[in-house]
Amino acid sequence: MEIEEERADGRCSVEEAAKRVEGRKGKYGEAAAIAAAAMYLVWENLTVMVPNLWNGQSRRLLLDGLNGYAEPGRIMAIMGPSGSGKSTLLDSLAGRLAQNAVLTGNILLNGKKRRLDYGIVAYVTQEDTMLGTLTVRETISYSANLRLPSSMTKEEVNDIVEGTILEMGLQDCAERIVGNWHLRGISGGERKRLGIALEILTRPSLLFLDEPTSGLDSAAAFFVVQALRSIAHDGRTVISSIHQPSSEVFALFDDLFLLSGGQAVYFGESKMAAQFFAEAGFPCPRQRNPSDHFLRCINSDFDAVNMALMISQRENQKPVDPLSKFSTAEMKARLVEKYRCSEQEAKMKTRMREISEMEGPSMTIKKCGNRAKWWKQLSTLTRRSTVNMSRDLGYYWIRIIVYILLSICVGTIFMHVGTSYVDIFARASCAAFVSGFMTFMSIGGFPSFIEEMKVFHKERLNGHYGIVVYTLSNFLSSFPFLALMSVASATIVFYMVKFETEFSRYVYICLDLLSSIAVVESAMMIIASLVPNFMMGVIIGAGYIGIMMMTSGYFRFVPDLPKVFWRYPISYINYGAWGLQGAYKNDLIGLEVDSKIGGGPKVKGEVILEMLLGYQAHHSKWWDLAAVLVILVTFRLLFILILKLKEKVSPFFQTLYAKQTLRRIGEPSMATRKSKLPQFPSKRHHQPLYSLSSQEGLNSPIN
């Protein structure tokens, strides 16, 4: 607040204002820290288009040559009719544009090109993705522990959590669960406020919000925007798209970016917008909310409404709306033209140039995502995930119950299986069922896992924690549940079927089942990281497990598998083949079986293993178990690698795609960009974040 007051007289930089505040206070405290993390964002000639899928030669312009800037200490509203490109503008600025969109133009953060995802900015999206089983307070508290500096005491963290709950007006629902597809939780408005609370917890230097007030009543909307305004006035940069704000809410915004059909209609101080509209010939009627008036002038849907009204009205009825004598297209064209020659545009260009020329320590960029140590994040994430898994019935509990019931079925069907000649087949079938089909059920937890992955993606994009920490925490939190289901199943089967009753064999069955289930879980994680929705994941996962079962050695002995592909490499990278081999060895080695029906001389289990099941007993069952563990570790590493590659490589492919698209359909027409663009000084560090189409990477964050 002090910094903003200091800047109120003139437009000095946040750094200068902080120094003055510091000078008055005699210490370099919080004000200076805020100033050091100040974020100035400039976008120049920003154009986004999507090629037409069905006709490769045409394209659709979503944003058309936009210029603007955002600076610390101010809150900006991006307004426009539905579909005008508000979210696209925010996504472009935050580096989160969809894969099929092509971006050209420059985006500079503190005068430099910079990748804005993964922790540089905080972004509250329209979808609020959260773990439905946690309460509001738990959600905020876990998030605080994940991101606030490890040096903070528990009390300090609690104070921040409680302060944020109060700030977003969530105290009444703090103990209620968030809710998901099967648990009714807090209301949509409360979810929205919770989503904002999670991002403002750490007081990010650059905060984007996509329609934070949608679904809120007017008092809650005012409350939320007031909180955002005070965050901005503490020296942060806040940009928010907003739909139809009330006049009180609109008055809280310092700047306004008005969009229509992807074109800028107005950019400047929000309090000057009414004057701009009046000068363009569209004064705001006395009793009308200014923001409603602005949107009324540029929303082409009103043309259709007016037309319908004219048709339905009788001759003698005059339209009540004074603007109805103009078509929206006329009004928009006049406003766009007026803006291009306006004082506001001239001011904007001057300020853009000033910001681009600014230098000093305040222009260094600091990550806002997380400042907690990795081990604190690991323990917090593990605790959060464990709580979620234990409360979500569908994650593990239902599976554990089904595993137990199924084990009882297996136990009763193969009850007290003997060691006669025919029982060999029963023993083999029982082992194959346990290590094959029982692992198949791991697919059941896929929907819950997908929900958790969505939360991970959101938090990862905002830089809350790293991929390795997430993978480890998932393993640690799921381990007790996997162990419980494996031990319960193995115990029931082992003692009901009465395999050899040595304890070491029992331990082996437990470990074999546990490691096989853990491998399937890891495979499902990999599939979840590659496919966009859970239905596809379930289908691909079922296909994968089916192939693994087929080549595990029960339906066709491993030595009989066709050498090319199925034997090498599939059976070698198949956890089921190693698991089943280990299970057979565990059962048969040391066992003596009748050689024919009704008795006969005994045959050693090793002979049966070799002659009947096609396995050589030249390596121990523990090596088979080790092979399953190696596959498990490999899968977890592969999961990490895929996520890392997706983060690092996808911008490269997006650049390539953008280049090819532009080559095919050409650059967006310059005819629409009559305005003179500000000329940035040709300094080395004033490289664009996204370079112009004709040069290099489009929509490709550099660095």
Ligand X SMILES: Nc1ncnc2c1ncn2[C@@H]1O[C@H](COP(=O)(O)OP(=O)(O)OP(=O)(O)O)[C@@H](O)[C@H]1O
Return residues touching ligand X (CB under 6 A).
Answer: 50, 62, 80, 82-88, 98, 100-101, 243
In angstroms, how far is CA 381 from the centroid of its own chain?
16
Nearer to ligand X, 192 or 399 (CB): 192
CB of 91 to ligand X, least distance (A): 7
By beta-carbon proximity to ligand X, the closer residue of 214 and 429 is: 214
Could you give the CA distance from residue 185 to residue 334 in angstroms, rounded to a whole number?
Answer: 48
| Nearer Cβ to ligand X (82/313) | 82
Tell me the C-alpha distance between 703 and 685, whole Å: 12
Dihedral over Cα of 354, 357, 361, 362: its sign: positive
Pick 98 or 307: Cβ nearer ligand X: 98
CB of 49 to ligand X, least distance (A): 9
Instruction: Tell me the residue ranges of DSSP E strands in 251-298.
Output: 255-260, 263-269
In the complex, the smallest distance separating the C-beta of residue 258 from ligand X, rounded to whole angstroms, is: 11
Nearer to ligand X, 50 or 630 (CB): 50
Rounded to whole angstroms, the Cα distance separating 172 from 243 reads 26
Nearest alpha-carbon partner for 436 in 524, 540, 527, 546: 546
CB of 540 to ligand X, least distance (A): 25
Distance CA 459, CA 451 (A): 13
- Which residue in 269, 485, 479, 527 sits closest to 398, CA to CA? 485
Cβ 58 to ligand X shortest distance, Å: 13
Q: Which is nearer to ligand X, 63 or 632 (CB)?
A: 63
Report which of 344, 555, 535, 571 is spatially closest to residue 446, judged by C-alpha positions. Answer: 535
The answer to whether 275 and 244 have CB atoms below 8 angstroms apart is no
Residue 332 or 376 with smaller CB distance to ligand X:
332
Identity at 278, one-letter amino acid code = A
Measured CA distances, 528 to 127, 455, 576 (Å)? 19, 13, 21
Distance CA 541, CA 528 (A): 9
Q: What's the gap between Cα 183 and its chain centre? A: 22
DSSP H/E element including 585: helix 575-588
- Gap between the Cα atoms of 509 and 500, Å rounded: 11
Residue nearer to ligand X on the CB measure, 86 or 376: 86
What's the closest the beta carbon of residue 285 comes to ligand X, in angstroms?
A: 24
Closest by Cα among 33, 192, 217, 202 to 125 = 192
Residue whose CB is less far from ligand X, 85 or 235: 85
Q: How far apart are CB 47 and ligand X at their closest, in Å?
A: 13
Neighbour-count burial for 124-159, b at 16+ CB within 10 Å, e otherwise: bbeebbbbbbbbbbbbbbbbbbbbbeeebeeeebee
Of 82 and 669, CB closest to ligand X: 82
**At its nearest, how many Å lie between ligand X and the CB of residue 330?**
21
Min dist CB 169 to ligand X, Å, is 24
Instruction: Kindly state the tokens that stand for 184.
Output: 């009714």
The rounded Cα 166 to chain-centroid distance in angstroms is 26
Give me the least distance between CB of 352 and ligand X, in Å please: 23
**Which helix (DSSP H) or strand (DSSP E) does residue 517 occupy?**
helix 503-530
Q: Which is nearer to ligand X, 25 or 664 (CB)?
A: 664
Q: What is the DSSP letter of 699?
A: S
What single DSSP character describes residue 271? Answer: G
Query: 63 or 389, CB closer to ligand X?
Result: 63
- Shortest Cβ distance from residue 63 to ligand X (Å)? 8
Whole-number minimum distance, CB 295 to ligand X, in Å? 11
Minimum CB separation of residue 119 from ligand X in Å reads 24
* Burial annotation 236-270 (CB, 10 A radius, 16+ → b, else e): bbbbbbbbbbbeebbebbbbbbbbbbbbbbbbbeb
CA 403 to chain centroid, in Å, comes to 32
Q: With beta carbons less than 8 A apart as the criterion, state whether 66 and 89 touch.
A: yes
Q: How far is the CB of 148 from ligand X (least distance, A)?
A: 32
Which residue's CB is nearer to ligand X, number 19 or number 332? 332
Let me know: does 132 contact 177? Beta carbons within 8 Å.
yes
509 close to 494: Cβ distance less than 8 angstroms? yes
Closest distance to ligand X from the beta carbon of 243 (Å): 6
SS (HEC) of 441-489: HHHHHHHHHHHHHHHHHHHHHCCCCCHHHHHHHHHHHHHHHHHHHHHHH
CA distance 24 to 586: 78
Closer to ligand X by CB, 98 or 535: give it.
98
For residue 74, give the H/E element and its range: strand 74-79
Nearer to ligand X, 96 or 334 (CB): 96
Instruction: Give the span between the Cα atoms of 451 and 285, in whole angstroms.
Output: 48
The CB-of-315 to ligand X minimum distance in angstroms stands at 37
Nearer to ligand X, 255 or 452 (CB): 255
Q: Which is nearer to ligand X, 257 or 578 (CB)?
A: 257
Please report how close the Cβ of residue 329 comes to ligand X at its closest, in angstroms.
17
DSSP string, 394-426: IIIIHHHHHHHHHHHHHHHHTTT---STTHHHH
Cα–Cα distance, 628 to 513 (Å, whole number): 10
